[in-house]
Structure 1
Amino acid sequence: MSKTYRIGIIGCGGIANGKHMPALKNQPNAAMVAFCDIDEQRAREAAEKFGAPEAKVYTDYKELLSDATLDIVHVCTPNDSHADISIAALEAGKHVMCEKPMAKTAADARRMVEAAKRTGKKLTIGYQNRFRADSQYLKRVCDAGELGDIYYAKAHAIRRRAVPTWGVFLDEEKQGGGPLIDIGTHALDLTLWMMNNYKPKAVLGTAFHKLSQREGAANAWGSWDPKKFTVEDSAMAMITMQNGATIMLESSWAINLVRTGEAKTTLCGTEGGADMDDGLRINGEKYGKLFTNRIELDARGVDFYDGSKEDPADLEMKLWLAAIENDTDPVVTPEQACVVSEILEAVYESSRTGKAVYFE
């Protein structure tokens, strides 16, 4: 790397502290020099923990963006502000990583794509599950054509009882939705990426409000307040693509299913299949017999060495900075992320109208 990139963080809450700032801290060519949050104390704590010695603190993101020395901005705010802040950052001459989902609405996502093209700055979205070891391996399998034509897939994002009760997760106005837009978005992104198919034809879906109004419910993070639970508790959809491929999308924070799995995909192709139900498994037929191979992703060779496994968030940040350094496309392109947002919005629209949504 030829330079150290000066980075600003807008939104110093959970996802910034849980992923962005620790992973950027691990990059030798990254320096976090600006921190912004509507809660000034939260921004100051982030600057003290992760910032360079000269780091500045802001409560207005527009003031942060006026710093001409910043190269990159990470947007880690609620969904309803993703588009406006990202577009302002692009127009201020910064490269932008925005947290998932790309935006609250598909129209906003398209505005972000247009802004990136207009400004010539790079824009990526934080779909970190692409950077897991199993995802990276499966992507190589798919790109090599080993599964053949992938014509059927499932995108899994199922929690039995794990409703996030903090922040604005339950606020439809701020978030735009519940588990579908929160974790379903990861599973859908992963599935489309593996298939390399971004041309949807039609979507038929249902968003359910079946368990959200229960008092004293069992939950990983303690019972939720039904009065604040304004989003769906689960959502399911069938997505057909222009080439005839079909994807079943399932997402939930609360549902009566014992089998759970988050940010996973199942793929069925003409030459083989893959799933993430028990580690990464590849299945197929060879010499007239069926086979199922479980991929060993840990590089164990001797008793005292467990191998090295790069943290997905670290790899995400390393490749993001490399794309800027080498002037190449980021792993997650804005055009790909925009399609994810368009499909998610179509699921919600289909649920509201009771009809399939067709793409032009």
Structure 2
Amino acid sequence: MSKLKIGIIGCGGIAHAKHLLALAKLADLVEITAFCDIIKGRADTASKQYGAVGAKTYTDYKQLIQDDAIDAVHVLTPNISHSTITVDALEAGKHVMCEKPMAINSQEARNMLDAAKRTGKKLTIGYQNRFREEALMLKEACNDGYLGDIYLAKAHAIRRRAVPTWGVFMDKEKQGGGPLIDIGTHALDLTLWYMNNYKVKSVSGSVFHELKDQNRANMFGQWNPDEFEVEDSAVGFIKMENGATIFLESSWALNTLDVREAMTTLCGTKGGAEMRRHPVSGKPDLHLNAEMFGKLVEIKPEMNPSIPYYGSRVEDEGDREARQWIEAIMEDKEPLVKPEEAYMVTTILEAIYESARTGKEVTLTSL
């Protein structure tokens, strides 16, 4: 079988931190034949490190997608351009992996969804946290009915002081918002996926701009308060049509010790589940709880044990995400992250911002 030819649009931090590393491990299945970035040097650097022989570089994505040899593209640009580039790539006959969030608002996300349906090309969104080991196990538990009907959930995306100071993260026009759209999107995606419930009745929320001057202890170094255009924290309350509720919390800067990112707490009619941070490693930890033989029990599964000096097969969530995406194309099957699901995540986030702006509850029409 011939290798899939991949084009990369956007050669910044997320390209190098996740996508290029993961695709490089799939060299038997894919080759990266084109790179595009508005800064040519970044495209050239990525091409030299990860490109196939003869790989091309561009500063205009429209030239890249005109290459008929390219099968799929990864859209790794600021949020404001996700929709435009994705729609153009789909119309050009390419499958598209687009980084999260799907788009800067629900209308642009809808444009992407419609284009995928119209062209018949595959579209997925970069919610790699679904592919964490404990996340996959929890999904299996939910599918098997271990928790029963999940009627109450909390979506956690809380940093104490970790405001990203590079790129355009603090630029409201280019990103659409701050921690809510940046990391809250991961927590909400996980929670909806576990509940398997995308029928939303109403949304209310609040956003805060309170700590922009408290920048001395930031993980990524001090930021310029004058450039901090987006919220530092936000919360949302989501009511589903069947009465289930979700509380979503997100922050880049918040005076709290309960720090959890891309995690969820689920309460069902038979049992519950909670993602926490491991007290030593800081990695996600899964705790299941239930009643058994008249007693309350807590179960903590062991994840990916290894033997000293021998180790184990190393595959992180980014690797699993890339492999599943490439297999979905090659085997003509649905990607794990469906665009309809990502569309609802974007719609809810937009409704939280709208509720915060107006001070009113926002009613939604489900898909």
Q: For the superposition of Structure 1 and Structure 2, which TM-score range results when normalised by the shorter chain?
A: over 0.9
Residue by residue over 1:218-242, the C-alpha shift from the partner in whole angstroms, topping out at 9 and shown as x without a partner, is 2001111011000000000111111
* Offset, 1:249: 0.2
Partner of 2:233: 234
* Offset, 1:309: 4.1
Matched, 1:308 2:310: no
RMSD over aligned Cα atoms: 1.0
Secondary structure in structure 1 of the residue aligned to 2:48: helix
Runs of 4+ deviating beyond 6 Å: none
Distance, in Å, in 2 between the alignment partners of 1:223 and 1:314 is: 32
Checking the alignment, whether the CA contact within 8 Å between 1:211 and 1:233 is kept in structure 2 is: yes
Structure 2 counterpart of 1:331, one-letter code: L
Residue by residue over 1:15-46, the C-alpha shift from the partner in whole angstroms, topping out at 9 and shown as x without a partner, is 00110111011112010000000000000000
Q: Which of 292, 295, 298 does residue 301 from structure 2 map onto?
A: 295
Secondary structure in structure 2 of the residue aligned to 1:162: coil
Matched, 1:36 2:42: no
* Offset, 1:310: 1.7
Matched, 1:344 2:349: yes
Partner of 1:7: 6
1:126-275 equivalences under 5 Å are 126-212=126-212, 214=213, 216-275=215-274
Residue by residue over 1:45-79, the C-alpha shift from the partner in whole angstroms, topping out at 9 and shown as x without a partner, is 00000100110000000000110000000000000
Residue by residue over 1:136-177, the C-alpha shift from the partner in whole angstroms, topping out at 9 and shown as x without a partner, is 110100011110000001100000000000000000000000
Partner of 2:282: none
Distance, in Å, in 2 between the alignment partners of 1:291 and 1:304 is: 35
Distance, in Å, in 1 between the alignment partners of 2:148 and 2:105 is: 34
Distance, in Å, in 2 between the alignment partners of 1:84 and 1:317 is: 23
* Offset, 1:215: 5.8
Checking the alignment, whether the CA contact within 8 Å between 1:159 and 1:253 is kept in structure 2 is: yes
| Cα 1:216–1:137 shift into 2, 3 Å | closer
Checking the alignment, whether the CA contact within 8 Å between 1:205 and 1:237 is kept in structure 2 is: yes
Checking the alignment, whether the CA contact within 8 Å between 1:298 and 1:306 is kept in structure 2 is: no
Partner of 1:52: 52
Structure 2 counterpart of 1:133, one-letter code: E
Deviates more, 1:270-279 or 1:113-122: 270-279
TM-score calculated relative to the size of structure 2? 0.96
Partner of 1:66: 66
Secondary structure in structure 1 of the residue aligned to 2:183: helix
* Offset, 1:311: 1.2
Runs of 5+ consecutive residues of structure 2 not aligned to the other structure: 279-284
Distance, in Å, in 2 between the alignment partners of 1:258 and 1:224 is: 21
Distance, in Å, in 1 between the alignment partners of 2:126 and 2:30 is: 17
* Offset, 1:307: 3.2
Distance, in Å, in 1 between the alignment partners of 2:238 and 2:60 is: 40
Distance, in Å, in 1 between the alignment partners of 2:129 and 2:298 is: 24
Secondary structure in structure 2 of the residue aligned to 1:295: coil
Checking the alignment, whether the CA contact within 8 Å between 1:238 and 1:249 is kept in structure 2 is: yes
| Cα 1:309–1:22 shift into 2, 3 Å | closer
* Offset, 1:312: 0.9
Secondary structure in structure 2 of the residue aligned to 1:276: strand
Distance, in Å, in 2 between the alignment partners of 1:226 and 1:303 is: 47
Structure 2 counterpart of 1:356, one-letter code: E
Partner of 2:281: none
Runs of 5+ consecutive residues of structure 1 not aligned to the other structure: none
* Offset, 1:308: 2.8
Matched, 1:358 2:357: no
Structure 1 counterpart of 2:197, one-letter code: N
Checking the alignment, whether the CA contact within 8 Å between 1:298 and 1:309 is kept in structure 2 is: no
Matched, 1:100 2:100: yes
| Cα 1:259–1:31 shift into 2, 3 Å | same
Partner of 2:116: 116
Structure 2 counterpart of 1:233, one-letter code: D
Checking the alignment, whether the CA contact within 8 Å between 1:7 and 1:32 is kept in structure 2 is: yes
Residue by residue over 1:320-356, the C-alpha shift from the partner in whole angstroms, topping out at 9 and shown as x without a partner, is 0111111111000100000000000000000000011
Residue by residue over 1:263-293, the C-alpha shift from the partner in whole angstroms, topping out at 9 and shown as x without a partner, is 0011000010001125111100011110000
Deviates more, 1:197-206 or 1:336-345: 197-206
Secondary structure in structure 2 of the residue aligned to 1:318: helix
Checking the alignment, whether the CA contact within 8 Å between 1:10 and 1:77 is kept in structure 2 is: yes
Distance, in Å, in 2 between the alignment partners of 1:137 and 1:305 is: 24
Residue by residue over 1:243-263, the C-alpha shift from the partner in whole angstroms, topping out at 9 and shown as x without a partner, is 111000000000000110100
Structure 2 counterpart of 1:144, one-letter code: D
* Offset, 1:306: 4.0
Matched, 1:282 2:281: no
Structure 1 counterpart of 2:209, one-letter code: H
Secondary structure in structure 1 of the residue aligned to 2:313: coil
Q: Which of 324, 328, 331 does residue 329 from structure 2 map onto?
A: 324
Checking the alignment, whether the CA contact within 8 Å between 1:271 and 1:284 is kept in structure 2 is: yes
Distance, in Å, in 1 between the alignment partners of 2:292 and 2:53 is: 60
Residue by residue over 1:198-228, the C-alpha shift from the partner in whole angstroms, topping out at 9 and shown as x without a partner, is 111111100100101x165320011110110
TM-score calculated relative to the size of structure 1? 0.97
Structure 1 counterpart of 2:302, one-letter code: E
Distance, in Å, in 2 between the alignment partners of 1:229 and 1:31 is: 39
Distance, in Å, in 1 between the alignment partners of 2:356 and 2:333 is: 38
